[in-house]
Amino acid sequence: MTSITDDEFDSLLSRFERDAIHLETRDAYGTATELPHMAKWETGEPDDLGWLQSWCATLREHVKAGKSVRRARIVSEPLSDYQRWSYSIALPMVEAGEDIRWVPRRLVSSVALPGNDFYLFDDHLIVFLIYAGSGLATDKIMSIDPADIRLCRSAFQAVWKLSIAHSDYQPV
């Protein structure tokens, strides 16, 4: 496994060939990009979500090219403030073509999950996302190990079967 830079990760997000799957397992994150916008949400300030437009444009390009982007979020219920905010901003991404689904944590008790969130690109390259306890990203680690790929694919498929589409999920 090898650490990769943010630029290398961004390149992977834009140049995969068929599909990208993303499993999120934490109840809170604290990315530098998101924190100011979540702070606005917490005080009831409006947010035009302009900061999401680049990702939404990338999603539209992927859809136009016939690529698939899926995200499963394993969440504790009732939702954390972070996940309630995340739910509130998900619609533009869904409309742009990302299939975002929600999975109540109680449903995945018997699913074997990797220790970290991940992206699996084209079923042959994984990027594990490493976070501090505070939710701040600390590293991105790439793997092409077949055992890692099998674990992540299996975990995602099992979670996806239990997932609820964004349009059908009712936050608790």
Q: Indicate if the pLDDT at residue 70 is higher than 90.
A: yes
Number of structural domains in the chain: 1
Whether 170 is in a domain gets the answer no
Q: Indicate if the pLDDT at residue 23 is higher than 90.
A: yes
Give the pLDDT confidence of 110-135 residue by residue, as tens digits.
Answer: 999 999 999 999 999 999 999 998 88
Q: Indicate if the pLDDT at residue 31 is higher than 90.
A: no
Give the containing element (helix H, strand E) for 38. Answer: helix 35-42
Judge whether 41 and 86 are in contact, CB under 8 Å: no
Among 37-41, 104-108, 163-167, where is mean pLDDT lowest?
37-41
| pLDDT for the residue numbered 32 | 79
Whether 171 is in a domain gets the answer no
Whole-number Å distance between alpha carbons of 65 and 167: 24
Whether 54 is in a domain gets the answer yes
Whether 55 is in a domain gets the answer yes
| pLDDT for the residue numbered 153 | 98
Whether 104 is in a domain gets the answer yes
Whole-number Å distance between alpha carbons of 11 and 30: 22
CA 45 to chain CA centroid, nearest Å: 25
Q: What is the pTM of this model?
A: 0.95
Domain range holding 114?
2-165
118: domain CATH number? 3.30.870.10
Whether 172 is in a domain gets the answer no
In the chain, pLDDT over 90 holds for what percent of residues? 92
| pLDDT for the residue numbered 30 | 81
| pLDDT for the residue numbered 58 | 96
Whether 133 is in a domain gets the answer yes
Whether 124 is in a domain gets the answer yes
Mean pLDDT of the chain: 96
Q: Which residue has the higher pLDDT, 167 or 133?
A: 167
| pLDDT for the residue numbered 95 | 98
